[in-house]
Amino acid sequence: MSIAEKMASNQKQIAISEFFEKNKHFLGFDTLNRAIITAVKEAVDNSLDACEEARILPDITIEIQRVPKSKDQLILIAKDNGPGIPQKSIENVFGKLLYGSRFHAIRQSRGQQGIGITGVVMYSQLTTGKQTYVKSKIASESSAVEVKLGIDTRKNKAVKYSQERVIWTEDEQIVEHGLFIRTQMKAKFQRGSQSIVQYLKMTSIVNPHANITFRYINSDGELEIENCWKRATLNLPTPVKAIKPHPHGIHLGQLQRMLKDSEERKLTSFLRQNFSGVSSRAAKEVCSKADLSEGAKPKLLKTEQVNSLLDACSEVKFLPPPTNCLSPIEDLLIKKGLSKTIDSKFVTTLTRNPRVASGNPYQIEVGLIFGGSMPSDQQVQLLRFANRVPLMYQQGGCLLTQAISSIDWRQYGLEQSGGKGVPKGPATILVHLASTNVQFTSEAKEAVASNDDVMQEIRKALLELGRNLRRHMKKKKKMAKAQEKFDLVNDILPAIAEKASSLLGKPVPELSSTISKIMNAVIMEQSTYWDKESKTVRVKGILYNYTSRPRSYTILMNWPEKQGAVMIDNERGGRKETIGLWAWKIETLQSGERAHIEFGLDNLEKGDWTETEVFYRGSAEVIGASKLDEKILEEMKNQNSDEVLETMEVITEEIDETISNVASRAMKNSTGDEIQKESFQTTLFDGEVDE
């Protein structure tokens, strides 16, 4: 046998599980400290995904037990109240890599590849030789199934050591459904910024609908640590829907495969039925630019023609893909999540409108929490998330960190060397990327890869947060000075007047006009608080005119209209300036007078809305309010207008597609004459519905 033949005879296919067994660092099991966090992450992600799909408010318990007399060995126990896993699916879910239901679905989800929890079972077996214990109960069955399993890495399949039906009891209470996992692995438990406690704390911030409990049992069997993060809302995240791929995000090989698998007889039908955002007009335009017949059969296209079709897609403007494939956390819940875990004096959040990059919908959410007990001489804490999952490692190489570091935070009141890098100050900055296709730097999903479009979108969001922080600090500083001056005048002047009057034997004079001359300022005092009796948020504002002449203003306040809040008890009236911004015209405020603005916000829970921004239009400065930037207001109006137009475009497209489907069904029993069918559809599209 020749050398070449001997070399060829030694070649054989590698099982995917065997590959990951030898390259476990790809999955996040490269160090003992990270191994346990990776395992907890996979268990929690699966529980949250399962509960959300089943529309169940998650109750998740994570317990870590130190194995006595065994160096660096931990037992991980994970429990949830999810829908459970059917008996016949357990061995595939826990014992087969690349097995899952989300890989081909274009929607936001925590996991996709079907590697996570199977990787945990594999790592456990590799480092301790122990079997993983799984107990599952589904609602339709009276008993639970109990399985002990491992993985045959050469065949990429589960090895079941035992399986039996048992009574399902957890914590002495019969639960209708849920999942229990117990596995032992080589790992180290640590405290600090990169610990299980920190990971679960971060998870609770972006999953405020979940109850999460953590326990740590030391080697003596004693409960050493116990934490519980209670849910901050009873509302589950908006369900996401899978969408079709968008032409702007398609690749040649993918397009060739789709054409080959197509059942459509016409190219225009193929484009409309298999992609999102493609109308009849756009499909015809693509065919024209690609120099292909509209009636060309998709299966018969040659490579050159497919290339022409792909090039044409890049030149045609399509409707954006639907954004119901995304489930953002939203402003109020981010505020709730941050406030319940971090003590502070100021919180500002922002959820940007969905955007599209390379045909993939994505959405950016940011939050900034300032003051309180956070140290002012250290770097701000960065909280990075992708699809509601905390990113704990590779902070420096992550796109989210790079976006934060690219902002000059000095102009917003934080310290920063040279205007670049992570700033210093008593603050925490949160960035969340929700996307149908998050590009990570590795399979371990620890950092987001570079993308110019996403980078710019994050920067825009962070700049808005910075402006909010600057306005807050400026307003607080001015209010503090004004209050100090006002207190001083109100304490000293009446005392002097009273003393002088008693010495002269005359009555104490009215001092309001004198105080106004000394203060020479217009002051806005505003408070936002939760009213226990009415169970509504109350907003009160008082505008004081401490100047010597009458003043006229328009006072504006923001409110969470997009989050479903309803404005009530607004006796002063006013008008809506734009979505989430209300305005009151105060025609004449005489010297020494005050104007009251008060309203309530219904349909909110306690803690949903704690701070209201106040703006003003007018010539004289108002201490305690920010002068309205008309350019920013115009941008807000345009943004809201764009949302309406985009919604109308999507509705029109859905009507267009519905009519087309109706037309197709109406002609189904005819002779199949394509010309007659097209004529019938054209008549519909050019009629009243199109108008």
Identity of the residue numbered 322: P
| Model pLDDT, residue 99 | 54
Domain ranges of the chain: 16-229, 247-315, 344-470, 516-628, 634-685
Residue 690 has pLDDT above 50, yes or no: no
Q: Which residue has the higher pLDDT, 569 or 641?
A: 569
| Model pLDDT, residue 83 | 92
| Banded pLDDT at 688 (limits 50, 70, 90) | very low
| pTM of the predicted structure, to 2 decimals | 0.72
| Model pLDDT, residue 26 | 62
What is residue 469's DSSP assignment? H
What is residue 249's DSSP assignment? G
**Lowest-pLDDT range, 170-174, 288-292, 343-347?**
170-174
Distance CA 272, CA 281 (A): 10
Return the CATH architecture of domain 247-315.
Orthogonal Bundle (1.10)
Mean predicted confidence (pLDDT) in 136-149: 90
157 burial via Cβ count (<10 Å: 0-12, 13-18, 19+): middle
How big is the CA angle at 612 (ends 610 and 616), to the nearest 5 degrees? 170
Q: Which residue has the higher pLDDT, 22 or 631?
A: 631
Half-sphere exposure for 647 (CA within 13 Å, toward CB): 8
Identity of the residue numbered 533: E
Give residues with Cβ within 8 angstroms of 449, minimum separation 6.
399, 439, 440, 441
Residue range 344-470, CATH number: 3.30.230.10
**In the predicted model, what is the mean pLDDT of the chain?**
82
Mean predicted confidence (pLDDT) in 45-67: 92
| Model pLDDT, residue 203 | 92
What is residue 415's DSSP assignment? B
Distance CA 537, CA 605 (A): 8
- Residue-wise pLDDT tens digits, 475-501: 778 777 777 777 777 778 888 888 888
| Banded pLDDT at 164 (limits 50, 70, 90) | very high
Kind of pairing, strands 614-617 and 551-558?
antiparallel
Residue 674 has pLDDT above 50, yes or no: no
3-state secondary structure of 483: helix
- % of the chain exceeding 90 in pLDDT: 26
User: Long-range contacts: 215-220, Cβ < 8 Å, 24+?
Assistant: 215/61, 215/62, 215/63, 215/64, 216/63, 216/64, 216/66, 216/189, 217/63, 217/64, 217/65, 217/66, 218/66, 219/66, 219/67, 219/68, 219/69, 220/68
205 burial via Cβ count (<10 Å: 0-12, 13-18, 19+): buried
Give CA 312 to chain center in angstroms. 34
| Model pLDDT, residue 343 | 67
DSSP string, 548-613: SS-EEEEEEEE--TTTT-EEE--TT--EEEETTEEEEEEEEE-TT-EEEEEEEEES--TTS-----
675 burial via Cβ count (<10 Å: 0-12, 13-18, 19+): exposed
| Model pLDDT, residue 679 | 44
Q: Are 123 and 35 in contact (CB under 8 A)?
A: yes
Q: How many CB atoms lie within 10 A of CB 254?
A: 12
Specify the DSSP element, H or E, that contains 428.
strand 427-435
| Banded pLDDT at 61 (limits 50, 70, 90) | very high
- Residue-wise pLDDT tens digits, 581-638: 999 999 889 888 889 999 999 998 887 788 888 999 887 888 888 888 787 677 667 6
| Model pLDDT, residue 574 | 93
User: Phi then psi for 481, rounded to 5 degrees?
Assistant: -65, -45
| Model pLDDT, residue 582 | 94
Residue 507 has pLDDT above 60, yes or no: yes
| Banded pLDDT at 413 (limits 50, 70, 90) | confident
Length of the chain: 691
Residue-wise burial string across 429-445, b where 16 or more C-beta atoms lie within 10 A, e elsewhere: bbbbbbbbebbbeeebb
**Lowest-pLDDT range, 44-53, 221-230, 502-511, 527-536?**
502-511
- Residue-wise pLDDT tens digits, 570-579: 999 999 988 8
Distance CA 134, CA 86 (A): 12
Mean predicted confidence (pLDDT) in 308-318: 88
| Banded pLDDT at 673 (limits 50, 70, 90) | very low
Distance CA 548, CA 265 (A): 81
Distance CA 470, CA 619 (A): 21
> Does the fold of domain 344-470 match that of domain 247-315?
no
Identity of the residue numbered 670: S
Angle, helices 267-274 vs 280-289, to 10°: value is 130
| Model pLDDT, residue 137 | 92
- % of the chain exceeding 70 in pLDDT: 85
Residue 683 has pLDDT above 50, yes or no: no
Residue 455 has pLDDT above 50, yes or no: yes
Give residues with Cβ within 8 angstroms of 320, minimum separation 6.
246, 277, 356, 361, 646
| Banded pLDDT at 676 (limits 50, 70, 90) | very low
Q: Which residue has the higher pLDDT, 596 or 520?
A: 596
Q: In CATH, what class is 516-628?
A: mainly beta
Distance CA 353, CA 642 (A): 10
Residue 366 has pLDDT above 90, yes or no: yes
Q: Are 400 and 455 in contact (CB under 8 A)?
A: no
Return the CATH architecture of domain 16-229.
2-Layer Sandwich (3.30)
Nearest to 325 by CA among 114, 44, 102, 116: 102
Tokens 């006796």, residue located: 571
| Model pLDDT, residue 572 | 93
Mean predicted confidence (pLDDT) in 450-476: 89
Kind of pairing, strands 355-357 and 381-386?
unpaired
